[in-house]
Amino acid sequence: MRLILGFLAALLTTAGLAPAAVAAESRPVYSYADAIRETAWVETGTDNDHDGKPDRVAADVIRPAARVRVPVILDVSPYYACCGRGNELQKKTYAPDGTPVQFPLFYDNYFVPRGYAVVLADVGGTNRSSGCFDDVGSGTAVVNWLNGRAKAFDAPGGGRPVRADWATGNVGAIGKSQDGATAIGMAASGVAGLKTIVPIEGVADNYAQLVANGAPLATPENTGSSFTYNERAAELCKPFEADLKARAGTNGDYTAYWQSVHYVPRPGQASVLVAQGFGDWVVAPGQFAGYWDALGRAGVPRKAWLSQAGHTDPFDLQRTQWVETLHSWFDRWLLGLHNGVEREPAVHLETAPDRWTDVRTWPPATLPTTLRPSGDGTLGLRGSGTATVADDPARTREDWANGVGAARFTGAPLPAAVRIAGTPSVTVTVSSDKSAARIGVALVDYGPAQLRNTAEYGSGVRNLATRSCWGSSTGGDSACFLDTAADVGSADHRIIAAGWADLGHHASLRHGEPLVPGRAYPMTFGLTALDHVVPAGHRLGLLLGGTDGLLFDPALPAYGDTLTFDLARTSVSLGLTKPEH
Q: Which residues are catalytic?
A: 177, 280, 311
Q: Please state, in angstroms and rounded to a whole number, the distance separating the CA atoms of residues 531 and 366.
A: 11
> If we measure between CA atoms, which residue out of 300, 403, 308, 291 comes closest to residue 354?
308
* Count of other CB atoms within 10 angstroms of residue 543: 25
**Alpha-carbon dihedral angle through residues 451, 457, 460, 461, given to the nearest 10 degrees:** -160
Beta bridge partners of 100: 94
Q: Please state, in angstroms and rounded to a whole number, the distance separating the CA atoms of residues 359 and 398.
A: 32
Residues 6+ apart with CB under 8 A from 475: none
Q: Buried b vs exposed e over 135-165: b needs ≥16 C-beta within 10 Å?
A: bbbbbbbbbbbbbeebbbbeeeeeeeebebe
Q: Please state, in angstroms and rounded to a whole number, the distance separating the CA atoms of residues 531 and 525.
A: 19
Beta bridge partners of 498: 442
Residues 6+ apart with CB under 8 A from 549: 392, 393, 394, 395, 396, 399
Is-contact 37 99, C-beta < 8 A?
Answer: yes
Q: Is the bond preceding 363 in cis, omega lying within 30 degrees of 0?
A: yes
Q: Please state, in angstroms and rounded to a whole number, the distance separating the CA atoms of residues 170 and 82.
A: 29
Is-contact 337 24, C-beta < 8 A?
Answer: yes
Q: Please state, in angstroms and rounded to a whole number, the distance separating the CA atoms of residues 229 and 232.
A: 8
Apex CA 246: angle with CA 241 and CA 249, to 5°?
A: 125
